[in-house]
């Protein structure tokens, strides 16, 4: 049995390669011509907000599913600008969240 030499036919370029970006959060799909544009309001101030879900920050806008005072809403963050959806029941907020992730709404 002949033994192969340890040299790989491929030249190793290992050093200096950037680590690929790892996305752990979902991405909102790009809206299409059929997508529904939502009404976005200015964020309310001075509220205790819990962020339940968020989209990956490698894409803008970033969406967050938030809870505050027993109600739910979506936050839309683009550059320095923050907008909020209207307040919803959890089921409706979940539905809106899915619509944003699939590109049905934006
Ligand atoms: Zn990402």
Q: What is the largest CA-CA distance in the chain?
A: 75
For the entire predicted model, the pTM comes to 0.78
| Interval 31-66: pLDDT, tens | 999 999 999 999 998 999 999 999 999 999 999 999
Residue 22's pLDDT is what? 84
Q: In this structure, what token pair is assigned to residue 93? A: 């907020």
Tell me whether residue 24 is in a domain: no
Beta bridge partners of 41: 84
**Residue 52 φ then ψ, to 5°:** -95, -40
Domains in the chain: how many in total? 1
Q: What pLDDT was estimated at residue 45?
A: 87
Is residue 96 a part of any domain in this protein? yes
Domain assignment of residue 10, yes or no: no
Torsion on CA atoms 5, 9, 15, 20, rounded to nearest 10: -130
DSSP three-state, residue 64: strand
Q: What spacing in Å lies between the alpha carbon of 36 and ligand 1's midpoint?
A: 23
Structural domain contains residue 21: no
Task: State the distance from the centre of ligand 1 to the C-alpha of 35, rounded, in angstroms.
Answer: 22
Neighbours of ion ligand 1 (CB under 5 A): 23, 56, 58
15 part of a folded domain: no
Question: Residue 25 domain-assigned?
Answer: no
Give 88's DSSP letter: B
If phi over 0 gives left and psi between -120 and 50 gives alpha, with beta otherwise, what is residue 69? left
Q: Per the domain annotation, does 2 fall within a domain?
A: no
Q: Is residue 1 part of a domain?
A: no
Residue 83, classified by CB atoms within 10 Å of its CB into exposed (0-12), middle (13-18) or buried (19+), is middle
Which domain covers residue 72, as residue numbers? 30-106
- Report residue 82 CA to chain centroid gap: 14
């Amino acid at each position: 049995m002949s033994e192969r030499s340890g040299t790989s036919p491929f030249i190793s370029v290992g050093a200096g390669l950037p680590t690929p970006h790892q996305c752990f959060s979902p991405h909102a799909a790009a809206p299409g011509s059929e997508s529904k544009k939502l009404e976005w309001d200015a964020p309310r101030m001075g509220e205790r907000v819990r962020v339940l879900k968020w989209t990956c920050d490698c894409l803008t806008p970033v969406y967050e599913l938030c809870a505050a005072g027993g109600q739910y809403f979506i936050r839309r963050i683009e550059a320095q600008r923050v907008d909020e959806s209207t307040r919803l029941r959890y089921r409706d907020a979940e539905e809106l969240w899915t619509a944003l992730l699939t590109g049905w709404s934006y």
